[in-house]
Every structure is written in structure tokens, then in C-alpha cells.
Amino acid sequence: MQNENVKMPSREAIIEALKPVRDPEIQIGIVDLGLVYDINILPGGLVQVKMTLTTPACPYGEMLINMAHQAVQKVEGVNEVRVALVWEPVWDPKTMASEEAKDALGIW
């Protein structure tokens, strides 16, 4: 029987936790860059994050995955985090989530 007092994390809380995770090379957050493709919250506090990198050759890939994992782990109600790195669809700078990120990279 699941404890009814256990708070399930919200998608919004997960996104907020991921926003400060920045690509150290270009100093833009992974959410604003559009690198977070999907967030799945399952019973028991399991959070699955599907993300990509700007390029497979990104020298900070492992570090970004670890930073995302740590950020989500701090959200209330999260008991387990699984971050999956995917390459489909290929990241496209035109799909960035913020106009500020597009402006900073000169993409229009």
C-alpha cells in the first residue's frame, strides 16, 4: 500500500530544478536550449528524463547528465532518477525553448 502522504513531484518542479543546469561552454541552460525532450513521473517517485546534447562530440556530455540527475534528485518526492541520453530527434537550435537562448546564439 502506497503512503498517501507522500508528495509526488510535479513536471513543473522537475523543469524548475533543471533550469539552472547550464552548458558550461555556452552558459545557457539545458531547458532553454531545448535539450530536455521528455519527463516521465512514475509512482513511487521515479522520474525519467530523456535529454540530448547539442552534438555527440560535446565534451561536457557526461557532466551535463550528472548535473541533470543531481538537480532532479533534490526535488521533493523524487526517490529515483533515470536520465536517458538520446540522439533522436537530432537537436536543432531552432527548437530552443527560449527567445533569449536563440538571441544569445544568434539563431533566428
Please indicate, yes or no, if residue 59 is contained in any of the structural domains: yes
Domain-embedded: residue 106: no
pLDDT at 34: 93
- Residue 83's CATH number: 3.30.300.130
User: What is the predicted pLDDT for the residue at 108?
Assistant: 60
Give me the pLDDT at residue 5, please: 61
6 within 8 A of 45, measured Cβ to Cβ: yes
Residue 108 inside a domain? The answer is: no
Q: What are the pLDDT digits (tens) for 58-73?
A: 999 999 999 999 999 9
Q: How many domains does the chain have?
A: 1
Residue 105 lies in a domain: no
Give the domain extent around 38.
Answer: 11-100
Question: How far apart, in whole angstroms, are the C-alpha atoms of residue 82 and residue 73?
Answer: 10
| Edge-first strand listing for the sheet containing 80-85 | 36-42, 46-51, 80-85
CA 75 to chain centre: 13
pLDDT for position 1:
40
What pLDDT, on a 0 to 100 scale, did the predictor assign at position 107? 72
pLDDT at 4: 54
Tens digit of each residue's pLDDT (9 = 90 or more) over 72-107: 999 999 999 999 999 999 998 877 877 877 777 777
Q: Is the dihedral of CA 103, 31, 86, 37 positive or negative?
A: negative
- Note whether residue 62 is domain-resident: yes
